[in-house]
Structure 1
């Protein structure tokens, strides 16, 4: 049963579900059956009840429908009331636990986010949100121990979740815009295109945008196709971003929207074809959040720029830079609120954005809906959304390297390197450490020939060191690189 533990991926389950040339299959209906049973037993143990209600959905992955049927049959055998939500999004699946008409005790989303077509996985939710790492361990242990007895008295109901969820988004946007000209169709006259990357986000075009009056002519890759034939459905992917940018320019659109496979991440493109992702997306949603909640802390991951920090501070916000990993960022936002430091936004540069008013759920569709409110309001004044972040300072030079560690004990080896680097910087006359840092080693390089910073950290899931370098002077990145390369030579690491 060790194979079940090997499927653990942070706060969810992921594995290879289809034959391919790269990796062996390790996630089949057998593992899915065991793990879904383990989740139900874990729910029963925590809820202290019986015949619980669980919602199931999947994205467009080729193995999704097969796995969904296996989960449903397993839960029915153990007496659950099951809602089959068909194709759904990860955030919508969480919403089944809090929407009055669903009120589920738990939910399972079958997805592997933006990973290649041959992967799949399971994400689990309760009314408290997505499960944590320790919960995954407990679920796997329940899967292995197998103490549940079959009752075969479960009940199945088909639900139109995406229709219900879309209506919530539409109603929220109408209410927030509150257009005196056209309450029902506040986006009328705008052409807004969607790139769903053949994932499960295509609904946003016809069920949200068109309902609000927008034209979606020029939208692309809306049809679900788990082969992902056009580009990887990932708002961080260069090819994907270039594709939506070109589509905006070609169609003379007012806005472009791109989602990842299961719609927990998003990015946008302004009418000039400029991508608003990563730091720019954080800046944009920070403007919106700080307008509604002045003085709020904005929690981000560790690789955000100093220019973003200055932008947030000029708006009256507090930039709280934390660790990589969307769950880390979200939990830090929740922690701050628990310590009476108001935080309404926790967002990662990957496009995972969690907003307090929306259960601190990382939801790409909700994020875009917040932005659309301002798109509509600005359009009435003849302005573009990009104007809200025109004061954001972008670094002159920026680069990222991924440095492989070819060792079995790569984590111990990598942590040793980081410890040595920290000591090296403490003894340096040229570089210094920031007062606060929560991940890896971040180094301030403020001499005239550097004028920037670098961050060296261990990858969350892979045997490598990630190196980010930014500078505001010409050749600054090259000069910083020189120091890092020389430092890593002692460890036989090159980039």
Structure 2
């Protein structure tokens, strides 16, 4: 049915020339058949193409006889709130942190349960090409009548719920700079932070999916320069940056230095475990060894997960985890349907800092114990062959596992992970060691086996 489709491992995302209203309509139709729900929730972000995609998706859903509840403009975690509260499947039109030229669709099941490649997206892929879901013996009959579209406003209910999850009473006055990146954080934060003893310096709160100042991707250092300058220039206690759909947040300390997401996870975990000892904290396998040590030292139970929101959520559900995190800046909360929320993570940071006399740099310093490489991408012709070559080179030197790609633990805090991309001829290397020199030596040793970019 479609020449090209941009279905990825966890969502559907790509250039707007490929993510068309026609595609969105077909995905909506497939999603309705897949979930067999009576109603599906639909929301969209601020990108120029998002309203038309949301309308087309809704049209595909209603064509099956299924009703649609439309939220209009919303952050991704507002959609999760709707899915969790109403126990309905939901679709978010967004390309998250991707550039303005892209758009996409995130799908979740009832209760904000993850839908990924092996839990629905592959079935939708089949439908796009065949007009049928797997195991469907014949074409479906047209419904007796089309579904109906019901607008709904859950914004205030979301604000009330999220504020109720974090006790911010009694926090000390703080000066913070927030870079909303012209994304959905600008839609959520004014109401979420209202009434708190905060002096806020706002950057780019206007909703503008053309991203006139910088891409809404805080993982890229160049996109943090405005925030860093504002933190230092205003003498703020911290800076907070959000991605386009506000499901991730990144923290800068009082010097404008980014706090590694792994250190932030450890800080939040330590505070949680002081109140709820014995809780489980899920972390992805790219998380620093220092974070895992900190969770254990605080009386928590660390659980290792594959990279990706679907895997982290599933691990959290399986273990009844109170908190989860990824090295990419996603933070998941047991009391938020095990889903990720940049806004909720930011509130927990304000709670931690506001009830402490420490600065951000001092509070997070104990959790920066090792030297990470960050993610290094290399283009290769044959990713499986590269992984086999690297595994052979390190055979007998440490513990090897294949939970997600190739992970090698060499002892004394030295480890690396090498994963193939789900969509590109690329392998992604992450390494860590106790010192910068040790990390560099390990990184370079692995890269030598991988070889030069193809």
How far is the alpha carbon of 1:397 from its aligned partner? 6.5
How far is the alpha carbon of 1:318 from its aligned partner? 3.4
Instruction: Give 1:425-440 correspondences, 5 Å limit.
Output: 425-427=394-396, 431-433=397-399, 438-440=403-405
Preserved contact between residue 266 and residue 368 of structure 1 (Cα < 8 Å): yes
Tell me the C-alpha RMSD between the 2 structures: 2.7
How far is the alpha carbon of 1:178 from its aligned partner? 4.3
Give the 3 Å change call, closer, same or farther, for CA 257–96 of structure 1 in structure 2: same
Structure 2 distance, partners of 1:480, 1:356, is 36
SS in 1 for 2:230: helix
Structure 1 distance, partners of 2:192, 2:49, is 28
Structure 2 distance, partners of 1:230, 1:377, is 34
1:385-435 CA-to-partner distances (Å, cap 9, x unmatched) read: 544333123435735421101x3xxxxx322332333233224xxx4235x
Structure 2 distance, partners of 1:191, 1:346, is 27
> What stretches of structure 2 of length at least 5 have no aligned partner?
133-138
* Segment of structure 1 superposing worse, 468-477 or 300-309: 468-477
Which of 99, 112, 123 is the matching residue for 1:116? Answer: 99
Query: In structure 1, what is the equivalent of residue 45 of structure 2?
Result: 59
How far is the alpha carbon of 1:485 from its aligned partner? 4.3
How far is the alpha carbon of 1:219 from its aligned partner? 0.9
SS in 2 for 1:211: coil
Instruction: Give 1:135-284 correspondences, 5 Å limit.
Output: 135-142=120-127, 144-145=131-132, 147=140, 149-173=142-166, 176-179=167-170, 189-216=173-200, 218-284=201-267
User: Which one has a bigger Cα radius of gyration?
Assistant: 1
Preserved contact between residue 41 and residue 148 of structure 1 (Cα < 8 Å): no
SS in 1 for 2:140: coil
Matched, 1:11 2:4: no
1:28-54 CA-to-partner distances (Å, cap 9, x unmatched) read: 11111111111122222xx4xxxx222
Give the 3 Å change call, closer, same or farther, for CA 172–305 of structure 1 in structure 2: closer
Matched, 1:39 2:34: no
Matched, 1:483 2:445: yes
Matched, 1:332 2:301: no
Matched, 1:457 2:419: yes
How far is the alpha carbon of 1:293 from its aligned partner? 2.5
Matched, 1:368 2:346: yes
Structure 2 distance, partners of 1:457, 1:153, is 45
Give the 3 Å change call, closer, same or farther, for CA 424–29 of structure 1 in structure 2: same
Query: In structure 1, what is the equivalent of residue 80 of structure 2?
Result: 94
Which of 362, 365, 368 is the matching residue for 1:393? Answer: 368
Structure 2 distance, partners of 1:309, 1:40, is 40
1:43-96 CA-to-partner distances (Å, cap 9, x unmatched) read: 22xx4xxxx222211111121011122223343444443322111011211221
SS in 2 for 1:41: helix
Structure 2 distance, partners of 1:171, 1:397, is 35
SS in 1 for 2:12: strand
Give the 3 Å change call, closer, same or farther, for CA 73–397 of structure 1 in structure 2: closer
Give the 3 Å change call, closer, same or farther, for CA 280–149 of structure 1 in structure 2: same
Structure 2 distance, partners of 1:456, 1:135, is 26
Structure 2 distance, partners of 1:76, 1:453, is 50
How far is the alpha carbon of 1:252 from its aligned partner? 2.0
How far is the alpha carbon of 1:268 from its aligned partner? 1.7
SS in 1 for 2:14: strand
Matched, 1:422 2:415: no
Structure 2 distance, partners of 1:396, 1:136, is 37
Preserved contact between residue 456 and residue 466 of structure 1 (Cα < 8 Å): yes
Q: How many residues align?
A: 444
Structure 1 distance, partners of 2:169, 2:47, is 38
Structure 2 distance, partners of 1:171, 1:107, is 23
> What stretches of structure 1 of length at least 5 have no aligned partner?
18-24, 180-185, 338-342, 408-412
Which of 417, 429, 443 is the matching residue for 2:408? Answer: 443
Give the 3 Å change call, closer, same or farther, for CA 235–41 of structure 1 in structure 2: same
Tell me: higher relative CO, structure 1 or 2? Use CA pairs within 8 A at least 6 residues apart.
2
* Segment of structure 1 superposing worse, 284-293 or 34-43: 284-293
How far is the alpha carbon of 1:437 from its aligned partner? 5.8
TM-score (norm 1): 0.81
Query: In structure 2, what is the equivalent of residue 132 of structure 1?
Result: 116
Structure 2 distance, partners of 1:114, 1:76, is 29
Structure 1 distance, partners of 2:34, 2:410, is 49
Query: In structure 2, what is the equivalent of residue 183 of structure 1?
Result: none
Query: In structure 2, what is the equivalent of residue 340 of structure 1?
Result: none
How far is the alpha carbon of 1:240 from its aligned partner? 2.3
Structure 1 distance, partners of 2:205, 2:145, is 38
Which of 270, 274, 293 is the matching residue for 1:287? Answer: 270
Preserved contact between residue 166 and residue 208 of structure 1 (Cα < 8 Å): yes
